[in-house]
């Protein structure tokens, strides 16, 4: 068994939405380290996207500005990818949004923005890229689609982010249903559920990592290596038999947190 080839992404073409910062940028770094020939990133903020491209190299990372909260943006991104590539081996649906408001004040606008970008966009963008993904899976390996969910779709958090938590739970079930259909085309769909990783989506882990770490069984927040390793595993030959699964990468928050019996009246 050749361990190097087992985790290699040599020569593959990938697209990471929201790939200019945070967890998306961690995915980009991992894909490049594993051998991807070209990684495309999409983002709304062009300047930030250009900074990421300059950091990793203009010969390997390519940016396509896109507002993926709108169907027109998804179609435009898919069309631009088709102009540039004959196939797509890896799609990571990472772009997302969060919205927090008290229950009695929670707005319809916040609900729509969160649910649309977190649930509708992964489905329809994958649909619009279907032909490229089919071409990616027509070679000697399956194409891979990874939806980025969250541990907030697996357990309740203390914040009033109703649409976010509902959307991430929906992504986990959507992953299973899409996996059942797309495996017919040699496209494997899976999901990654991150815990506390420093990003704009998790400002607590970014600005106060020690406080966040105190609540995590592993006693630290996630690193770029943790997230990159999860993506490399699922995208490479190592993950070819993992279909419809959600890989939880959270230091044990969901599955290894013990209740505080001193503060729990049921304890």
Q: What is the pLDDT of residues 119-129, one digit of tens each?
A: 999 999 999 99
Which entry of 40, 103, 162, 164 is annotated as an active-site residue?
164
- Name the stretches of the chain with pLDDT < 50: 264-267
Q: Distances from the Cα of 211 to the Cαs of 154, 202, 218, in angstroms?
A: 22, 13, 13
Residue 59 exposed, middle or buried by CB count within 10 Å (0-12, 13-18, 19+)? exposed
- Encode pLDDT of 55-76 as tens digits: 999 999 999 999 999 999 999 9
What is d(CA 120, CA 34) in angstroms, rounded to the nearest whole number? Answer: 30
Count Cα neighbours of 244 within 13 Å in the Cβ-side half-sphere: 11
Cα three-residue angle 119-124-127, rounded to 5 degrees:
135
pLDDT of 175 reads: 98
What strands lie across the sheet with 13-17, from one edge to the other? 61-65, 38-43, 13-17, 90-93, 143-148, 187-194, 246-249
The two tokens of residue 127 are: 């649909």
**What is the reported pLDDT for 204?**
57
Neighbours of 135 (CB within 10 A): 16
* pLDDT 10s digits, 228-266: 999 999 999 999 999 999 999 999 999 999 876 555 444
pLDDT number for residue 2:
83
CA distance 36 to 30: 9
Answer whether 42's CB lies under 8 Å from 15's CB: yes
- What is the pTM assigned to this prediction? 0.94
Distance of alpha carbon 150 from alpha carbon 196, whole angstroms: 10
103 part of the active site: no
């Amino acid at each position: 068994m050749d361990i190097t080839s087992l985790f290699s992404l040599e020569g593959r073409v990938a697209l990471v939405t929201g790939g200019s910062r945070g967890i998306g940028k961690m995915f980009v770094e991992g894909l490049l380290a594993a051998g991807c020939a070209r990684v495309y990133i999409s983002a709304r903020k062009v300047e930030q996207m250009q900074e990421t491209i300059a950091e990793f190299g203009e010969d390997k990372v390519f940016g396509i500005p896109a507002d993926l909260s709108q169907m027109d943006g998804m179609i435009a991104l898919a069309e631009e990818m088709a102009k540039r590539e004959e196939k797509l081996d890896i799609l990571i649906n990472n772009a997302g949004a969060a919205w927090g408001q008290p229950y009695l004040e929670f707005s319809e606008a916040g609900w729509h923005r969160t649910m649309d970008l977190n649930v509708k966009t992964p489905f329809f963008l994958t649909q619009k890229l279907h032909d490229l993904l089919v071409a990616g899976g027509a070679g000697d390996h399956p194409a891979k689609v990874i939806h980025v969910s969250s541990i907030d779709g697996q357990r309740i958090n203390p914040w009033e982010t109703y649409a976010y938590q509902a959307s991430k739970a929906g992504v986990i079930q959507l992953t299973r249903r899409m996996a059942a259909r797309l495996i017919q085309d040699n496209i494997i769909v899976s999901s990654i559920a991150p815990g506390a990783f420093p990003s704009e989506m998790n400002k607590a882990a970014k600005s106060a990592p020690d406080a966040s770490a105190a609540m995590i069984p592993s006693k630290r927040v996630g690193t770029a290596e943790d997230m990159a390793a999860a993506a490399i595993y699922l995208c490479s030959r190592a993950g070819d038999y993992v279909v419809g699964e959600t890989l939880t990468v959270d230091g044990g928050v969901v599955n290894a947190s013990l209740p505080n019996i001193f503060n729990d009246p049921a304890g």
